[in-house]
């Protein structure tokens, strides 16, 4: 039996899941789905900074458009770190499309004029 604190909503339900993926402790169906995903295929969002190539000592904030498999976090971070963008940037611009063939884009979250 594994235990989790649900992070889907502010309630923070204490979830328990057994080997047959039976979930207890959830106040809503989203908690049960979260626990099952956490056991079978955990995923995470990434927020980070990316270098702005045509500005000295400048970075722009970025995030993943969707959650990626937890085991790929360091590989995706390597891609973010070795890639740069040119100013100007706009919120919502795609900095890296389909990063590492995950189907997830790296999106810019700050305007730089």
State whether 49 and 103 are in the same domain: yes
Q: Is residue 76 part of a domain?
A: yes
C-alpha 55 chain-centroid distance: 27
Residue 64 confidence (pLDDT): 98
Residue 95 confidence (pLDDT): 98
* DSSP class of 31: H
Please say whether the beta carbons of 26 and 38 come within 8 A. no
pLDDT by residue, tens only, the chain of 113 residues: 999 899 998 999 999 999 999 999 999 999 999 999 999 999 999 999 999 999 999 999 999 999 999 999 999 999 999 999 999 999 999 999 999 999 999 999 999 99
State whether 30 and 61 are in the same domain: no
Number of domains the chain contains:
2
- State which residues form the domain around 36: 2-40
Residue 18 confidence (pLDDT): 94
State whether 95 and 55 are in the same domain: yes
């Amino acid at each position: 039996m594994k235990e989790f604190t649900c992070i889907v909503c502010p309630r923070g339900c204490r979830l328990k899941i057994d080997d047959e993926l039976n979930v207890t402790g959830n106040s809503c169906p989203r908690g049960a789905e979260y626990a099952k995903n956490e056991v079978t295929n955990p995923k995470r969002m990434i927020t980070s900074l990316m270098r702005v190539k045509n500005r000295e000592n400048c970075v722009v904030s970025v995030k993943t458009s969707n959650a990626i498999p937890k085991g790929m976090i360091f590989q995706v971070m390597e891609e973010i770190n070795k890639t740069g963008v040119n100013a100007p940037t706009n919120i919502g611009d795609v900095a890296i499309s389909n990063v590492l063939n995950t189907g997830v884009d790296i999106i810019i979250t700050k305007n730089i004029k």
